[in-house]
Amino acid sequence: MNSIPVIVLAGFLGSGKTTVLNHLLGNRGGTRIGVVVNDFGSIEVDAMAVAGQVGDSMVSLGGGCLCCAVDGSELDAYLEKLADPVHRIDVIVIEASGLAEPEEMVRMLVANENPAVRYGGMVQIVDAAEFDATRARHPETDRHLAVADLVVLNKTDRIDAAERTRIEAALAALCAPGIPVVGADHGRIDPELLFDRRPWTETRGQLSFEDLLAQAHDHDGDHDGDDHADHVHAAYESVEFVSEQALGPRRFIEFLDRRPAGLYRIKGSVYFGVPGHEERYEVHAVGRFLRFAPHPWGRGEPRLTQLVLIGSGTDGPALLRELENCREPEPWHAAPESMWGVLRYVHRPAGQSPDSDPDQDQDQDPDMAMDPDLEDHPDPEDF
């Protein structure tokens, strides 16, 4: 069973978290999203009221999406509800305001023992127009930025180019090395930076959240609403890489370690072909967050590496050349220990021992030990 990624949206009051969340919901395609918020008031309440209640503080957004209002103590219970296969949820998004400190939220998700969900990265929303004032009012801003996997610099339409350059330089110093900063206005970021959008199919019967938002835009005279997603997507470049030849695990990890800050997301699957590790390794990276998940090949499925790299200001041909250099013509001769770098980023249920990596502390909690977001960022015990 594939686990559901849980993405945390964090940021202080007024930064635009809810605007980003509504934008993601309104441009989700056919993706079924589970949403966890503190209360329903900030989401498009009228749209949800039309979509109808499903009980127990959960609201149907239509089209398979659900929203639940919780406090921190209820989080695990609602993640379990949203992950129920009956809902067929593809991704869960948590709006962190009022629920918990973002660092605590990350720690809870990494330590979560429910195999149906997995931590999918933390996105910190920053108000560009109030950046200095926010840091003065909330000194913990710096600490939050230090554990972010992706930073959205929102409201860039309210500052000039020189101010944006100054803030981006400050963010680069405050964040972990290589953390990408995505500029946005009105919370419009490409959902593909965070999750895969399934093809949209016409809604039958109950209107979806996306349908209702589109109607609202038309009613308000915002006739270019349908163009927003395409307009946003145009700000990023997408590079595709396919290889029938296996990739060397050590070379591929080295490629990931030195990936440029403008490379926001990597998704797809990798074929390593190392003896004992011939599975298809699904890879998911958002910013510096990285996760591998091994899956068996389907019957007759060709052994291929297929990757999509999404970024801005990156050198596509150079990235493809680097990936070409990761090819391994004779993977069957590779030693099993060559996979240790990959296996460090494979989620394991609590209590399952790591593979035979002598550098891995066998007494350490596997989730804590294996999560790169906790290696690149401060130790969760220090949160």
pTM of the predicted model as reported, rounded to 2 decimal places: 0.71
CA dihedral (166, 168, 174, 175) in degrees, to 10, reads -170
Binning pLDDT at 50, 70 and 90, where does residue 379 land?
very low
Q: pLDDT tens digit string along 175-192? A: 988 888 999 999 999 888
Angle, helices 17-26/209-219, rounded to nearest 10 degrees? 100
> Are the C-beta atoms of residues 100 and 108 closer than 8 Å to each other?
yes
Least confident of 84-88, 103-107, 198-202, 313-317: 198-202
Q: Which amino acid is present at 266?
A: I
Binning pLDDT at 50, 70 and 90, where does residue 37 land?
confident
> What per-residue confidence (pLDDT) applies to 303?
95
* pLDDT higher than threshold 80 for residue 61: no
> What per-residue confidence (pLDDT) applies to 67?
55
> What per-residue confidence (pLDDT) applies to 98?
55
Least confident of 28-42, 151-165, 339-353, 363-377: 363-377
DSSP 8-state class, residue 43: S
DSSP 8-state class, residue 343: H
* pLDDT higher than threshold 50 for residue 133: yes
Q: pLDDT tens digit string along 291-331? A: 999 999 999 999 999 999 988 888 999 999 999 999 999 99
Binning pLDDT at 50, 70 and 90, where does residue 123 land?
very high
**Degrees (nearest 5) of the Cα angle 320, 324, 327?**
150
* pLDDT higher than threshold 50 for residue 358: no
Q: pLDDT tens digit string along 208-239? A: 445 544 544 444 444 444 444 444 445 678 89
* pLDDT higher than threshold 80 for residue 360: no
With a pLDDT cut of 70, the percent of the chain lying above it is 70
- Mean pLDDT for 260-270 is 88
> What per-residue confidence (pLDDT) applies to 53?
35
Q: Which amino acid is present at 209?
A: F
* pLDDT higher than threshold 90 for residue 21: no
> What per-residue confidence (pLDDT) applies to 374?
40
Q: Side by side, which strands form the sheet with 91-95?
A: 53-55, 58-62, 65-69, 33-37, 91-95, 4-10, 117-127, 150-154, 181-183
> What per-residue confidence (pLDDT) applies to 197?
77
* pLDDT higher than threshold 70 for residue 80: yes
CA gap 282, 272 in Å, rounded: 11
Is the pLDDT higher at 347 or at 16?
Answer: 16
Least confident of 134-143, 261-270, 280-289, 363-372: 363-372
- Mean pLDDT for 32-44 is 65
> What per-residue confidence (pLDDT) applies to 348?
66
Is the pLDDT higher at 155 or at 374?
Answer: 155
* Structure token digits, residue 382: 């220090």
Binning pLDDT at 50, 70 and 90, where does residue 39 land?
low
